[in-house]
Structure 1
């Protein structure tokens, strides 16, 4: 962290941030260049009327805010992590929550929401750096460490009267939220301390993919550690270029896929075919694979991929197969599935596609 700016006046942060943005940096990268979290930089703009970026703090009524978005019509939902950005156009519909766990369940906007990690929200308006372009309007939500968990952007078709009414309804004059430094990552337990045979038996007995996380907790296993311990039984390590091959093959075959991208407080899902797959190498050394389809964009940094796994999970509907990739910090970047619904077996075309990429036989029955 930048010790100087940690205690700097908000006006100084705004000035430094504007200079970085003028250099062409995206907001998240500009904040990082200042040694601050994005949430802290946005908070420094709260109430400032003379900056290119203006922010209004929002009440912590997260579910109600998202439910109210339906009246705004078409917007763009954005969820990202360090390496992967998932953008989806649609209308926020069918929002619900059970305690701190929320859902949005429309075909276009499909979210799993973990409100226990939502700490602060802002309505943000930023002037464009391009002449003649309209201001960008967004709702931005952050965890306690200033990492964005979810964002919503107005589109050309958005009802701005409804948007402005939402901001007015949920604006708060309470103190601007503060953010803390993220604690050190917990160490991965030694493999010798994991009951691998018990884990394998529990894995084989799964009836629903949602049992997976509780199973890991019960055995005290870190996610990638469990994948490694189950290699040759339920998992296979794949080359780093597997995601690029997957997207290209899915585009060629037309098979309908599901793309899951997590942040600290949200998982955003796309369901459907993909078609316009474009690689991009930048001067900075970043290497991207992109899906640039109407209503759905995916941007994934392939140079940050550390490991890729094909994962099979038994369910009451048969084996469910996914491609999962992790970065060098051990964080999950994205997961890919074939399109499916509860009660419906996995698409044969998806299973065949993954088997071809992994160079393994197509599974016709439960894994052993």
Structure 2
């Protein structure tokens, strides 16, 4: 979608009424516009432009009570039900951190936000929807039946912007970097990788060596990283379910990462989608978008942190799964056994 359709808000609304059965994201793609432009077209109808900063929005959400947090990328959607309690602001990243809602928020990508009140056959559905500069969804908060509507009304009134334009101006999407490798630094990568004491050190290591995450996996070799057959994602999810292993699942985009911590209770495959359908937690994964899967072993002070990480054909990360660590259980050998038993892909030897 390099050349977006130039449609007026009225034209967007008319086209939407002709395709009411499609989800917003799917309709926007069909119409060759961005989802944020679709939502903006309904400003002054059932949509209100509001302040977009995490510092403006997030502290206000706790008083709504129970809501649903939704974060997605092109290939995976995560939904968690809970309360937006325990907000921590930061200059580069903020967070919501509690047992149900666990988010990392990167405020520079919170460019536009809307309060949406949409009439449906089952009543009015209310949500806050946040978009980045390209008009792609960063994060959404959906009210639940028991959410406090008085708080909602006051929140919308307090955060309402003077600018209620129905036209959302968007920037080109930043292209995803494919695997960025630097074979000349392969030995240094392996040496410094082995010395890591925290998984976050990896995020500083790879750019220093002029690589990215996927590129580093391509050249570091075993036992640090092992490429898996793509269908092993299903094998892994079913093993986590069958063996009742608590995991941490990370799903996100450039502006938000949402995390589930706990077991998996229900898996249901529907067409290309693999779905986790648990009380208070849903995940929807496009299996046909998975191009590469890696089993990754990063050393920490608390022992090895094993993960399974899936990437799309462009090299964008779809999701990550780790064994869950808590004060009560620091290590989950069953998770390590699951990962170690997954079948490798047929790939070339590392540099």
Please give the range of the TM-score, normalised by the shorter of the 2 chains: over 0.9
Q: Is the 1:59–1:172 Cα contact (8 Å) retained in structure 2?
A: yes
TM-score (norm 2): 0.93
Give the direction of change, closer, same or farther, for the CA distance of 1:168–1:256 in structure 2 (3 Å limit). Answer: same
* Equivalence for 1:171: 160
Q: Distance in 2 between matches of 1:300 and 1:41?
A: 24
* Equivalence for 1:32: 29
* Equivalence for 2:348: none
Q: Distance in 1 between matches of 2:256 and 2:234?
A: 24
Where 2:25 maps in the other structure, the secondary structure is helix
Q: Distance in 1 between matches of 2:172 and 2:4?
A: 15
Q: Is the 2:54–2:105 Cα contact (8 Å) retained in structure 1?
A: no
CA RMSD of aligned residues (A): 1.9
Q: Does 1:218 align with 2:215?
A: no
Where 1:77 maps in the other structure, the secondary structure is strand
Moved more, 27-36 or 165-174: 165-174
- Counterpart selection for 1:145 from 120, 126, 134: 134
Q: Distance in 2 between matches of 1:343 and 1:208?
A: 19
* Equivalence for 1:313: 298
Where 2:211 maps in the other structure, the secondary structure is coil
Q: Is the 2:54–2:94 Cα contact (8 Å) retained in structure 1?
A: no
Q: Distance in 2 between matches of 1:197 and 1:4?
A: 45
Q: Does 1:64 align with 2:56?
A: yes
Where 2:134 maps in the other structure, the secondary structure is coil
- Number of aligned residue pairs: give it: 342
Q: Distance in 2 between matches of 1:228 and 1:343?
A: 35
Where 1:195 maps in the other structure, the secondary structure is helix
Question: Relative contact order (alpha carbons < 8 A, sep ≥ 6): 1 or 2 greater?
Answer: 2
Q: Is the 2:68–2:79 Cα contact (8 Å) retained in structure 1?
A: yes
Moved more, 197-206 or 291-300: 197-206
Structure 2: segments with no counterpart, 5+ residues: 345-351
- Counterpart selection for 2:234 from 232, 244, 261: 244
* Equivalence for 1:280: 270
- Counterpart selection for 2:74 from 79, 82, 105: 82
Q: Does 1:91 align with 2:83?
A: yes
Q: Does 1:160 align with 2:149?
A: yes
Q: CA deviation at 1:125?
A: 1.5
Q: Is the 1:317–1:344 Cα contact (8 Å) retained in structure 2?
A: no
Give the direction of change, closer, same or farther, for the CA distance of 1:251–1:81 in structure 2 (3 Å limit). Answer: same
Q: CA deviation at 1:87?
A: 0.3
Matches within 5 A, 1:1-368: 1=1, 5-6=5-6, 8-20=7-19, 22=20, 24-47=21-44, 49=45, 54-128=46-120, 131=121, 133-174=122-163, 176=165, 177-186=168-177, 189=180, 191-192=182-183, 194-281=184-271, 287-341=272-326, 345-358=330-343
Structure 1: segments with no counterpart, 5+ residues: 282-286, 360-368
Give the direction of change, closer, same or farther, for the CA distance of 1:305–1:3 in structure 2 (3 Å limit). Answer: closer
Residues 18-76 of structure 1: per-residue CA shift (max 9 Å, x gap): 322x2x211001011110010111112212x2xxxx21111133223111110010000
Q: Is the 1:312–1:319 Cα contact (8 Å) retained in structure 2?
A: yes
Q: CA deviation at 1:343?
A: 10
Give the direction of change, closer, same or farther, for the CA distance of 1:98–1:4 in structure 2 (3 Å limit). Answer: closer
Q: Distance in 2 between matches of 1:238 and 1:125?
A: 44
TM-score (norm 1): 0.88
